[in-house]
Amino acid sequence: MNNKIQESLKNLRQYALNRNYEVSLFYHEEDSYLMRFANSAISLNTNEHLIRMEITAYSGTKRASFDLITNLDQVDEIKTAIDTAAEMVEHSQPLNYQPTIPVYKETFIDEAGYDPELATLSNEERLTFFNQTVQGLETDEIKLSGIFSNGTNIVAMINTRSEHLQLFKTSDAQVTMVLAHEGLKWEVSAEQSAQAKSKLDADKLHRELSFLVERYHVDRALQIELGRYDIVFGSSATADLVNMMNWIGFNGGSMKRGYSFVNEDKIGEKIFSTKFNLLDNPERLETFPFKRDYMGIPRSKLAIIQDGVFQGFLWSQDDADEFGAEPTGHTVSHKSLEIVPGEMSISSLEQLVKMPRDKDLLYIPFLHYMNVVNPSKGIITASSRFGALLLKADGSVETPYNVRLTQSLLDIFGDKVAWLSQETVPVNTSTSYGARNPTAIVVPIFMRVNDLEISHSNTSF
């Protein structure tokens, strides 16, 4: 199939050259499978195979794009789309900068992140995984919901400046399991991300859910008091916080547009905890990485925050063109973010609960409905929903109703960080909107941050 993609793109490029067009072609192909459960039954079982083509035409500082869902056999349709983009660009408004068109010096094909066994999982295998995960946990009152999504993602690009192209192929899976009590209204959840079939682990999810279900059955539920707490974030919560920082923190374009809590004066300054180290690391296959960006720039491990010191902004080519910056190899659909692990030897929730403590700890595994309150100060707000625990100083455990955290990311990842766990895990942060774009962030399983304020506490689940 890859040979057909390459041949088709080269033929389309030649068509554009023959008509004296300046164009780039961006090819996206996805093979997606989704099994969804609701009320302990399959509510949706579907798959789709889609090919998208984005044609971008250039004329001086003018640029125009035309997108279509198509098929490689529909050559005339794609050629018509190329003609349309070329016509559109003549009527488009000039940019106030000169956009860069890459010149690929060699063809680059990367399939290291593709596992055919994961990409082609059967319905039976997905259903078996669900059943193994929740075996013995469902009752007349406790119902299962969740998703198992997996598939293949291919992106390829070529333009009229060079005969060479780039192609990236990955496989991915995202699993979310939720057990909800119909009467008491509590919910517990567990998630898993996988780049290869061997990384799927139903037994691990079963242990997580079993432990949480027992806690919510046995321990007292309560509304906790407002105030400041030492909080242990689970991996999913930490990943969502980093994902927000990716948007309003170290993105160069966001900074120039006034939508960042960091400015250029902060480069080289310690603004986070010395325990906090953040990388963009395309060597981690779990993040579905791009080894080169769409401009052909080779990508390697890059420190963003080192021992709390901000190292610099990440720049896509287009933002760099607009603001006169140097691109950093980040013209990609997603980055490969990784938090360097810490020194705390805790790898499971059971260990965390049993750990001796001299004060109460609030455990928040997930953050929901996260949004920006003030981007210039890094203030975000989010609520807990699934599986929070209040670990009392006396060794007992209580199950708190949902709480809301409204805090600056500068505080959450600042000097209030007490420790990070030694073990890390990839957390899938993909969304189901638009073209398939598998994304994951590697984070410590737990991160403890002291003295954070709970701004709201619900009176029920």
Task: Please check whether residues 165 and 244 belong to one and the same domain.
Answer: no
Task: Please check whether residues 301 and 429 belong to one and the same domain.
Answer: yes
Task: Please check whether residues 20 and 146 belong to one and the same domain.
Answer: yes
Task: Please check whether residues 27 and 90 belong to one and the same domain.
Answer: yes
Per DSSP (E only), the strands in 182-217 are 187-194
Contact 223, 457 (CB under 8 A): yes
Task: Please check whether residues 243 and 350 belong to one and the same domain.
Answer: yes
Select from 167, 195, 218 the last residue of a domain: 218
Tell me the one-letter amino acid at 142.
Answer: I
Task: Please check whether residues 395 and 410 belong to one and the same domain.
Answer: yes
Q: What are phi and psi of 15, to 5 degrees?
A: -60, -45
CA distances from 196 to 117, 148, 173, 184, 336 (A): 7, 14, 8, 37, 17
- pLDDT number for residue 433: 82
Distance CA 148, CA 135 (A): 16
Q: Is pTM, for the whole model, over 0.75?
A: yes
461 residues of the chain, pLDDT tens digit each? 789 999 999 999 999 999 999 999 999 999 999 999 999 999 999 999 999 999 999 999 999 999 999 999 999 999 999 999 999 999 999 999 999 999 999 999 999 999 999 999 999 999 999 999 999 999 999 999 999 999 999 999 999 999 999 999 999 999 999 999 999 999 999 999 999 999 999 999 999 999 999 999 999 999 999 999 999 999 999 999 999 999 999 999 999 999 999 999 999 999 999 999 999 999 999 999 999 999 999 999 999 999 999 999 999 999 999 999 999 999 999 999 999 999 999 999 999 999 999 999 999 999 999 999 999 999 999 999 899 999 999 999 999 999 999 999 999 999 999 999 999 999 999 987 889 999 999 999 999 999 999 999 999 88
Select from 218, 246, 271 the last residue of a domain: 218
Distance CA 316, CA 278 (A): 18
Residue 270 burial by Cβ neighbours in a 10 Å radius (0-12, 13-18, 19+)? middle
Distance CA 78, CA 87 (A): 14
Task: Please check whether residues 6 and 138 belong to one and the same domain.
Answer: yes
Distance CA 291, CA 166 (A): 11
Contact 360, 390 (CB under 8 A): yes
**In the beta sheet, which residues pair with residue 176?**
147, 191
Would strands 227-234 and 361-364 be described as parallel, antiparallel, or unpaired?
parallel
Task: Please check whether residues 323 and 423 belong to one and the same domain.
Answer: yes
How many other C-beta atoms can be found within 10 angstroms of the C-beta atom of residue 59? 15
Residue holding tokens 């929070």?
A: 388
Task: Please check whether residues 279 and 427 belong to one and the same domain.
Answer: yes
Task: Please check whether residues 231 and 136 belong to one and the same domain.
Answer: no
Cβ density class 133-145: b for 16+ within 10 Å, e for less: bbeebeeeebbbb
Select from 218, 238, 272 the last residue of a domain: 218
- Count of domains for the chain: 2
- pLDDT number for residue 431: 87
Residue holding tokens 């720049």?
A: 315
| 201: containing domain | 2-218
Task: Please check whether residues 193 and 298 belong to one and the same domain.
Answer: no
Please name which of 6, 53, 54 lies closest in space to residue 166, comparing C-alpha atoms.
6
Q: What are phi and psi of 315, to 5 degrees?
A: -125, 125
Please name which of 273, 252, 240, 245 lies closest in space to residue 386, comparing C-alpha atoms.
240
Task: Give the 3-state secondary structure of residue 362.
Answer: strand
Task: Please check whether residues 132 and 81 belong to one and the same domain.
Answer: yes
Instruction: Transcribe 3-26 into DSSP letters.
Output: HHHHHHHHHHHHHHHHTT--EEEE
Which CATH number characterizes residue 85's domain? 3.30.2290.10
Contact 167, 29 (CB under 8 A): no
